[in-house]
Amino acid sequence: MLLASIFAITIQTANKVSIVKVGSGYQIMRGTQKFFIKGAGGTGGMKQLKEAGGNSIRIWGADQAPKVIEEATQRGLTVMFGLWLGHKEYFDYKNPKQVAEQYEAVKRDILKFKDSPAVLMWSLGNEMEVGNDIPETWMAIEQLAKMAKSVDPNHPVSTVVADISPQKIANIKRYCPSIDVLGINSYGGLPTLPKRLREAGWTKPYIVTEFGPLGPWESAKTSWGAAYEPTSTQKAAKYASDYRIAVASQPGWCLGSYAFMWGSKQEETPTWFGMYLPTGERTQAIDVMIRAWTGHLPHNCSPEIDSFDVDIKGKEVAVGSSLRASVKYHDPESKPLKVRWEVRDETPERKHDGQGEKTGAVVPGGWDVAEGGELECQVPSLPGRYRIFVYVRDEMGSAACANYPFKVQ
């Protein structure tokens, strides 16, 4: 009996995660080891994440958890465990019944997974304050944070918000004193995040829980509302710069980050947010994160796009019009590259966070088999909204991509 008790205490100590004050800053401790989050959001390719120098993944809800926890444990990765909380479209934080039911659901999930060695911390919600930045929301989160600490004293508690504002920070400080660390999703605003946090009076630690390219909501648009997507090379430059400014330069305050997203995702386009293409190739965004995590680039760097132009980008043209496009590119290691063009229908219906969005279909035509850095052809024969994509691939699983929208009427 004594041996069993000692074994249980040893396991509990090894699995314990804490955020401790060190001088004027903070440090994550896993057992007796210092830990800095080198993470990515999404669960695609945990093997590749580990090989890239990453040490953590972020999930948004417990529905993903059993399989994720099992694989993360096998691969020696940690999990920022998201506990999904209601959003304004279907949840009312002023409704005691809904709040109580949510409380019990979150408690059940914590009790179910709290003893997994992969769990790094609990993450209460994701951007649930959007349209809900009211005292009742934060008071409900405070009750959840207190409960989490009560039933599981071995893991810190965070909550994740959609960037920050002075009011949001004031509300969290006033109503959520039990939160150990603040998770912040920030895209266009990331370069100024440390400055804005200081000005808002945030003194606890923070984690950048999502970052990446400018979102469609932040980008310039055509007259019909199609957003201009950065090239994969432009995205990579932003990953690198933003990480340096908002993560690496804030030791003791920023406890790490989760790049978004480790996999592919349809949102506005099939290539906007994924660090991998839908066809499986990795992009330059992964290369720059490998350098951030390990201090060196991978042996096989991705192709890079130097320039990309389409003569009818952002324009409305008539059926029968011509289209001319060109791309200049290079490979850092001078590997042979292949270029492929395609025209797709614009995403038929945009949805919040891309949930349930359908990818625009490839339009049959000469462009779908064209090879080379230049393309000249006729636009699709049917009126509609389209995008022309270009992909530059090596033979080792890496690629670059870019696209422009246009409209046929």
Write the CATH number for 90. 3.20.20.80
* Closest to 148 in 3D by CA, of 205, 92, 110, 179: 110
Averaged pLDDT, 181-191: 98
Is residue 27 located within the same domain as residue 53?
yes
pLDDT tens sequence across 123-158: 999 999 999 999 999 999 999 999 999 999 999 999
What is d(CA 29, CA 181) in angstroms, rounded to the nearest whole number?
13
Is residue 261 located within the same domain as residue 287?
yes
Is residue 286 located within the same domain as residue 309?
no
End of a domain among 270, 294, 318?
294
Whether 33 is covered by a domain: the verdict is yes
Predicted local distance difference test score (pLDDT) of residue 8: 43
5 has pLDDT over 50: no
End of a domain among 273, 294, 315?
294
Is residue 269 located within the same domain as residue 311?
no
**Residue 339 is encoded by which pair of tokens?**
């270029």
Averaged pLDDT, 45-55: 96
Predicted local distance difference test score (pLDDT) of residue 371: 65
Strands, E assignment, 228-290: 254-259
Instruction: Output the CA–CA distances (angstroms, integers) from residue 7 to 2, 18, 32, 117, in the order listed.
Output: 9, 20, 17, 15
Quickly list DSSP for 321-372. -EEEEEEEEE-TT----EEEEEEEEPPSS--GGGTTPPPPPBPPSGGGG--S
pLDDT tens sequence across 356-398: 889 999 998 766 555 679 999 999 999 999 999 999 999 999 9
Whether 286 contacts 277, CB under 8 Å: no
Whether 299 is covered by a domain: the verdict is no
Is residue 247 located within the same domain as residue 211?
yes
Burial class (CB in 10 A: 0-12, 13-18, 19+), 147: middle
Predicted local distance difference test score (pLDDT) of residue 10: 45
* Closest to 227 in 3D by CA, of 239, 237, 238, 214: 214
Q: Tell me the H-state helices in 259-344.
A: 284-294
Whether 1 is covered by a domain: the verdict is no
Is residue 66 located within the same domain as residue 92?
yes
pLDDT tens sequence across 155-178: 999 999 999 999 999 999 999 999
Predicted local distance difference test score (pLDDT) of residue 260: 96
Whether 5 is covered by a domain: the verdict is no
pLDDT tens sequence across 22-33: 999 999 999 999
End of a domain among 248, 272, 294?
294
Is residue 288 located within the same domain as residue 315?
no
What is d(CA 126, CA 85) in angstroms, rounded to the nearest whole number?
7
pLDDT bucket at 11, cuts 50 / 70 / 90: very low
Angle at alpha carbon of residue 246, lines to 121 and 266, rounded to 5°: 70
Whether 2 is covered by a domain: the verdict is no
Whether 4 is covered by a domain: the verdict is no
Averaged pLDDT, 214-238: 97
CATH number for the domain harbouring residue 362: 2.60.40.3880
Number of domains in the chain: 2
**Percent of the chain clearing pLDDT 70 (strictly above):** 95
Question: In the block, which residue shows the tokens 């625009």?
Answer: 360
Question: In the block, which residue shows the tokens 């444990």?
Answer: 73
Is residue 166 located within the same domain as residue 240?
yes
Is residue 217 located within the same domain as residue 339?
no
Whether 100 is covered by a domain: the verdict is yes
DSSP state of 247: I
Is residue 288 located within the same domain as residue 349?
no
**pTM, rounded to two decimals:** 0.93
H/E run at residue 206: strand 206-210
Instruction: Provide the 10 A C-beta neighbour count for residue 296.
Output: 9
pLDDT bucket at 16, cuts 50 / 70 / 90: very high
Owning domain of residue 210 = 10-294
Is residue 266 located within the same domain as residue 329?
no
What is d(CA 160, CA 163) in angstroms, rounded to the nearest whole number?
9
* Closest to 15 in 3D by CA, of 57, 73, 63: 73
Between strands 254-259 and 37-41, the pairing is parallel
Q: What is the dihedral of CA 24, 29, 31, 34, to 10 degrees?
A: -100
Whether 3 is covered by a domain: the verdict is no
Is residue 345 located within the same domain as residue 254?
no
Looking at every residue in the chain, the average pLDDT score rounds to 94
Distance of CA 358 to the CA centre of its chain: 20
